[in-house]
Amino acid sequence: MASDYTVGDLVAEFLDAIGVATAFGIASVHNIPMLDAIGRRNRIRFVMARGELGGAHMADGYARATGGLGVIFSSTGPGAANAIGGLIEARFASSPVLHITGQTATRFVDRGLATVHDANDQLGMMASVSKAAYRVRAAAQALGVLTRAATEALTPPMGPVSVEIPIDLQRVAIPRPEVLDGFTLPIPAPAAPAAAALDELAARVARARRPMLWVGAGARKAGPEIRRLLDLGFTMVNSLEGRGMVPESDPRSLGGLHGGGLPMVTDFYATVDLMVVVGARLRGHETNDLSLKLPGNLIQIDVDPLANGRTYPNTYFVCGDAALTLRGLAARLEGRFAPEPGYQGEFAAMKARARAAFLDSLGAYGGFADQLAAVLPPDAVFARDVTQNNTTWGNRVFPLHDPRQNVYPVGAGIGQGLALGIGAAVGAGDRRSLVMTGDGGFFLNVGELWTAVQERLDLVVVVMNDRGYGVIKRIQDATAEGRRFFADLQGPDLAGLAQLAGIPFHRVETAEAFGPTIARALEHRGLSLVEVDMTKVGEFPAYYPFNIRR
State the pLDDT confidence band at 141, using cuts at 50, 70 and 90: very high
Q: What is the pLDDT of residue 109?
A: 79
In the chain, what percentage of residues exceed pLDDT 70? Answer: 99
d(C-alpha 506, C-alpha 486), whole Å: 29
pLDDT tens-digit map of 484-520: 998 998 989 999 999 999 999 999 999 999 999 999 9
Q: What is the mean pLDDT of residues 336-364?
A: 96
Q: What is the mean pLDDT of residues 117-130?
A: 89
Q: What is the pLDDT of residue 470?
A: 87
Q: What is the mean pLDDT of residues 351-364?
A: 96
Taking the CB of residue 411, how many other CB atoms lie within 10 A of it?
Answer: 16
Q: Would the pLDDT of 11 be above 70?
A: yes
Q: What is the pLDDT of residue 545?
A: 76
Q: What is the pLDDT of residue 550?
A: 45
Q: Which CATH number fits domain 7-180: 1.10.287.3510, 3.40.50.970, 3.40.50.620, 3.30.70.100?
A: 3.40.50.970
Contacts (Cβ under 8 Å, ≥6 apart) of 331: none
Q: Where are the domains positioned within the chain?
A: 7-180, 195-353, 361-537
**H-type helices in 398-493, by residue range?**
417-427, 439-444, 449-454, 470-479
State the pLDDT confidence band at 3, using cuts at 50, 70 and 90: confident
Q: Would the pLDDT of 34 be above 50?
A: yes
Report the alpha-carbon angle 261-263-269, nearest 5. 110
Least confident segment among 249-258, 355-364, 402-411, 480-489: 480-489
Q: Do domains 195-353 and 361-537 have the same CATH topology?
A: yes
Contacts (Cβ under 8 Å, ≥6 apart) of 114: none
**Cβ 164 vs Cβ 135: under 8 Å:** yes
Q: What is the pLDDT of residue 116?
A: 66
**Cβ 434 vs Cβ 405: under 8 Å:** no
d(C-alpha 440, C-alpha 473), whole Å: 12
Q: What CATH number is given for 361-537 in this structure?
A: 3.40.50.970
Q: What is the mean pLDDT of residues 180-209?
A: 97
State the pLDDT confidence band at 1, using cuts at 50, 70 and 90: very low
Class for the domain spanning 195-353 = alpha beta
Strand partners, 274: 211
Q: Under DSSP, is residue 37 helix (H, G, I), strand (E, B) or coil?
A: helix
State the pLDDT confidence band at 548, using cuts at 50, 70 and 90: low
Q: What is the mean pLDDT of residues 515-538?
A: 97
State the pLDDT confidence band at 107, using cuts at 50, 70 and 90: confident
**Cβ 448 vs Cβ 527: under 8 Å:** no
Mean pLDDT of the chain: 95
Taking the CB of residue 49, how many other CB atoms lie within 10 A of it?
Answer: 30
pLDDT tens-digit map of 257-297: 988 888 999 999 999 999 999 999 998 888 988 999 999 99
**Helix or strand run (H / E) with residue 347:** helix 343-360
Residue 392: phi and psi, rounded to 5, are: -100, -95
Q: What is the pLDDT of residue 83?
A: 97
pLDDT tens-digit map of 512-523: 999 999 999 999
